Amino acid sequence: MQYTHLGRTGLMVSKLCLGTMNFGPLTTEEDSFAIMDRALELGINFFDTANVYGWKIGEGITETILGNWFAKGGSRREKTVIATKVFGRMGEWPNQNKLSALHIRQACEESLRRMKTDHIDLYQMHHVDPETPWDEIWQAMEVLVQQGKVLYVGSSNFGGWHIATAAETARSRHFLGLVSEQSLYNLTARTVELEVVPACRHYGLGIIPWSPLAGGLLGGALQKAREGRRANPDMEKRVEKMRPQLEAYEAFCQEIGENPADVALAWLLKNPVVTAPIIGPRTMDQLDGSLRALEINLTEDLMKKLDEIFPGPGGEAPWAYAW
C-alpha cells in the first residue's frame, strides 16, 4: 500500500479509501467485517462512512456496523482513520439535519455512540448549508476539536466559492479549517476541475473523489454486458448514452493491458490534489483487485488519449471559458 498526507496535514492515509455505503443495505454485517479486515491486511487505513448510510432515517446502520467491527478489538480502531459525515436528516424534528451548532453537536455524539469510539478522525460536512453562518459552524467544530471528539474537519459536495469562504472564515478565527473535500470526480464527471480543484490546491485541501468509477460505467460495463451480466435499466440507459466513449475507453484499456476500473482510479491518482479515491467493493476480489491502480503509470501520451475520449471542461476557470 502507498500512503500520502491528507491535504496539508501531517496525517498519513492510504491512497485508496474504503467506502462503506453498501454496508447494511447491500452487504451483510458479516461480509462487511470480512471486507474491512481484508482492507487492513492490505494496508488500507482510511475508511469513509456517513451517519445517513443505511438509508433509514435516524438509524445510522452503517456506522453501527463499523462500531460493532471496532468492538471486536485487535487494534481495529487504532489502525483506522475513520471519516464520517454530518448534514443529512436523522429524525423528523426541525433541528435534526443540516449544520446548525445544535445539530452538529447532537450528530457528533450519536456517531460516536454508534461507532463505539471517543473521537472522529475526519468529520465532514456532507453538503453546503446556506442557511447557517460560517461563524456558527466553525464555533461548533472548534468546540468538538477542543473536546477531542473531532481531529480534522472536511467538506463534501462543496463548490470552489464555498471552500474559499469556509477557509477564510476559519483563518480569521485562527482555526485549521477544512483539510479535505469529497467531490464527485471521475473521467465522466470533471466539472470540479473548473473551480473546486484549484480552490483545494490553493487552500491545501486533499480531494477525496466519490464515485470514481461513475457508478460502474468505468468498470468495464460493455465487457460485462457482452459476458451476459445484466445491469439494471438505469445503468443500461447510461451505457447506451455513452456507448461510443465507453467503446473507445475499453479498447484503450485493452490496448494497454489494464482493467478499466484500475485505469479510472489511476487517472484520478495522477492528479496531485487527489488524496484517495473512495472504492466501494462488494466482494473480496474487487477489493484485492483495486490495488493494481497504484502500480499503473499513465504517461502524458496516455493521459492525452483519455482526455480525447472523456474531454474535461477545458481547464480551470476562468481560462476554460474566457480570454
Each residue's pLDDT tens digit, 287-302: 988 999 999 999 999 9
- Helix or strand holding residue 184 (H, E): strand 178-184
**Minimum mean pLDDT among 126-135, 144-153, 212-221: which range?**
212-221
Contact 86, 126 (CB under 8 A): yes
Q: How far from 215 is each of 51, 190, 196, 299, CA to CA, in Å? A: 21, 15, 21, 26
User: Quick one: which of 49, 40, 107 has its CA closest to 72?
Assistant: 40
> For the domain bounded by 3-217+260-304, which CATH number is listed?
3.20.20.100
Residue that has been written with the C-alpha cell 473535500 in this structure: 181
pLDDT for residue 72 = 97
Query: Which pLDDT band holds residue 232 (cuts at 50, 70, 90)?
Result: confident
pLDDT for residue 230 = 67
**Averaged pLDDT for residues 5-18:** 98
Choose between 142 and 282: higher pLDDT: 142
Q: Is 53 among the catalytic positions?
A: yes
Alpha-carbon gap, residue 323 to 320, rounded angstroms? 8
Alpha-carbon gap, residue 263 to 218, rounded angstroms? 9
* Cell matching residue 228: 451476459
Q: Tell me which of 53, 123, 152, 185 is the catalytic residue.
A: 53
* Cell matching residue 293: 491502480
Alpha-carbon gap, residue 243 to 249, rounded angstroms? 10
Percentage above 70 pLDDT, the chain: 99
Helix axes 260-269, 300-309, angle to 10 degrees: 110
pTM of the model: 0.95
Contacts of 221 (CB under 8 A, 6+ apart): 231, 235, 239, 246
Alpha-carbon gap, residue 280 to 277, rounded angstroms? 10
* Cell matching residue 312: 474535461
Alpha-carbon gap, residue 130 to 119, rounded angstroms? 27
- Provide the residue ranges of all domains of the chain, joining segments of one domain with +: 3-217+260-304
**Phi, psi at 239, each rounded to 5°:** -60, -45
Alpha-carbon gap, residue 5 to 265, rounded angstroms? 18
Query: Which pLDDT band holds residue 161 (cuts at 50, 70, 90)?
Result: very high
Contact 102, 110 (CB under 8 A): no
- Is residue 105 predicted with pLDDT exceeding 70? yes
Helix axes 160-172, 134-146, angle to 10 degrees: 60
Identify the DSSP state of 118: S
SS3 (DSSP) at 229: coil
Other beta carbons within 10 angstroms of residue 29's beta carbon come to 14
User: Quick one: which of 280, 262, 304 has its CA closest to 24?
Assistant: 280
**Averaged pLDDT for residues 154-168:** 98
